[in-house]
Structure 1
Amino acid sequence: MTRTGRRGATAALLAAVAAGSLMAGCTAGGGGDDGSGHRPPGHDSARGTGPVLAVKIDNVPQARPQSGLDAADVVYAEQVEGGLSRLMAVYATALPKAVGPVRSARESDLELLGQFHDPTLAFSGAQHKLLPLIDDAPLRAVPPGKDAGAYYRAPDEAAPHNLYLRPRQLMDSAPGTGALPAGFRFGAAPAGGTPTAERTVRFPSARFTFTWDEGRRRWLVAMDGAPAVTPEGRRVAPATVIVQHVKVRASRFHDFLGNTTPYTETVGSGKADLLRDGRAWEVGWKRPTASDGTDFTTAEGAPVNLAEGQVWVVLAGD
């Protein structure tokens, strides 16, 4: 599958963090909680109960359009070296035929994935000093070296933007909405909110724009000024966008050019912006430890409901 053709027709570290300090597109809901919203069935107080598939996806212009991005339940946008962006797509309710281009993991991915129960992480590789931490993290790490049959190279595309995953080679079936953390609640919108037609979130060398489409009841995604589309030309359009303001600091790792790798802290608390139904709310987020899910609440402390459909979480510097 070529990109041209697609356009025509992608527990050591966590234990240490925990000792120191320490959302999809859901397409179907589960049992009720307090009547104000519903969470996927089978939750404990923090994490989901099934093994999601998380895939690191390239997000430079040469990697677009990505395969499988529209099928994800949750898409996380994070900062990497040089202020660029990378995506982590989480699959709980459906496994597409292909996902990619697949790229490398980062240290902060391990903390982020701690809120999922026994997740599988698909990635192209990692900085060699990070590999032991990935091996010790509470997840199933599957780079190409561990399951070559799950990956393939698109022959007419340039490396490193040509590695793709066959998700069904790693998982027999999707675990369902119960695999999402408890903070992903779906139901009626909070009271109030500010009418919002568009929101842009900027990284040092990347930007995401979400434009409300009233007819579709979805936010149309643009990345670096270009519409985000599937290989078949469909717009990527989540129902909910969360702009989560977090601390982005330097990690102890570097890329092959010597650029410092950012570390995105997703344990703690802070402010966030909720976008759904063409409106925006200022909310809070809280995640006490790496094994807890992230809870989003109103100023009064009430849990926030998300709209049914894909969720994007943009991890923006505070």
Structure 2
Amino acid sequence: MDDRSNSRARRTRTGLLFVAAALLAVQGCGGGSKPAPHPSASTGSPSAANSPTPQPSATQLPNPLDNVGTAGNTLAVKIDNVGRQTQALQQGLAQADIVYWIQVEGGLSRFLALYDSNHLPGSIGPVRSARETDIPLLQQYGRLDFAYSGAISGLKPLLAQADLTNITPITDPGLYSNGGIGPTFVDPHKLFAKYPSVPARSPGFRFGDAPGGGTPLNDMTWRQPAATIGVHYNGSGYDVAVDGHSSWSGTATVVVQHVSIVPGSFTDYNAGSAANEVFTHTTGSGTAQVLRGGQVWNVTWNRPDPNGGTSYTLPDGSAMPFATGPVLVVLVP
């Protein structure tokens, strides 16, 4: 696993033994939204040592993604998560500032990971295709670089119209390993050198000391129709397991955001189903849980404006502060 900057704790791959979640009231909470979105080293993967380093942001403002260091520019990457063989190849998840776990067709899952240019892994992937959910989800971050392997034809015009710098093996094959043929990985240092992006914008997160009123909870697992993700608090952060297998460590805050997942607008006939695409609503409001430091809090999430960030508030109306460090957002019904 790659080491991140010195400001981030060393993350090592650890075996996890997940137990059943003890907080039934939390796990059973299913408030829907109101619609208005370690890696095993890959042979030949690019390394940070041989890559040009982007210039840090001149703003010197705190990093709004995970509060580690100063704000750089922003990159989003769609990462494959289907099958044990693919999961064993994953790179860059532990070093991401924010990781979203998102349902895709067939009840499977993929990751959408966001990175600040001031602390990057050497390689990210395997890179996979964009989905309809990604566009409104990323809208709250302002203009950023978006690396993905492709998209179905109906979605391409929407991606072109979105406030994104779309970077694919078709538009820039030199940035992808293996000529863009899967499994393919992207070197974020080379990408930022060519596409500098803009300084990171806050997605609405607030960071600070843990509030009172949390309930002890060390282990929790969530399910999509054909995928699972779970976390275990190890005393300093959260170990993450995907489909029952250890994936990465070092997550500081876990957000469980209950959303509406509905049939999507597009169909990928290659998947063999006329109703295979799904769309996750990430605008509106709903219930959520926030896990940090071995405790959990019930909160409300709210994002009325697609161009604005997502707030998370406690029952008394105050903002729920996140712990400084990487954030995992689990999007489930």
Q: TM-score w.r.t. structure 1 length?
A: 0.79
Write the letter of the residue equivalent to 1:76. Answer: Y
* Counterpart among 293, 304, 318 of residue 277 in structure 1: 293
* Counterpart among 84, 101, 106 of residue 77 in structure 1: 101
Query: Is residue 2:81 matched to residue 1:53?
Result: no
Note the alpha carbon deviations across 1:141-195, whole angstroms, 9 max, x for none: 111111111101299xxx64x1110111221399899614252211111211110
Measured at CA, do residues 294 and 175 of structure 1 come closer, stay the same or move farther in structure 2, by a change above 3 Å?
farther
Q: Secondary structure at the match of 2:94?
A: helix
* Counterpart among 222, 241, 249 of residue 236 in structure 1: 249
Query: Is residue 2:107 matched to residue 1:91?
Result: no
* Structure 1: 4+ residue segments shifted above 6 A: 173-178
Question: d(CA) in 2 for partners of 1:169 and 1:5?
Answer: 21
Write the letter of the residue equivalent to 2:237. Answer: R
Question: d(CA) in 2 for partners of 1:176 and 1:127?
Answer: 25
Query: Is residue 2:328 matched to residue 1:303?
Result: no
Write the letter of the residue equivalent to 1:90. Answer: L
Question: d(CA) in 1 for partners of 2:208 and 2:167?
Answer: 34
Query: Is residue 2:237 matched to residue 1:224?
Result: no
Question: d(CA) in 1 for partners of 2:109 and 2:142?
Answer: 25
Q: TM-score w.r.t. structure 2 length?
A: 0.76
How many residues align? The count is 271
Q: Give the structure 2 partner of residue 28 of structure 1.
A: 69
Q: Give the structure 2 partner of residue 6 of structure 1.
A: 41
Query: Is residue 2:263 matched to residue 1:250?
Result: yes
Contiguous gaps of at least 5 residues in structure 1? 11-22, 30-39, 41-49, 229-234
Q: CA deviation at 1:202?
A: 0.6
Contiguous gaps of at least 5 residues in structure 2? 1-37, 46-63
Write the letter of the residue equivalent to 1:147. Answer: D
Measured at CA, do residues 174 and 142 of structure 1 come closer, stay the same or move farther in structure 2, by a change above 3 Å?
closer
8 Å Cα contact 1:28/1:177 also seen in 2: no
Q: Secondary structure at the match of 2:77?
A: strand
* Counterpart among 122, 130, 138 of residue 113 in structure 1: 138
Q: Give the structure 2 partner of residue 232 of structure 1.
A: none
Q: Secondary structure at the match of 1:253?
A: coil
Q: Secondary structure at the match of 2:309?
A: coil
Question: d(CA) in 1 for partners of 2:287 and 2:192?
Answer: 35
Measured at CA, do residues 68 and 154 of structure 1 come closer, stay the same or move farther in structure 2, by a change above 3 Å?
farther
8 Å Cα contact 2:143/2:197 also seen in 1: no
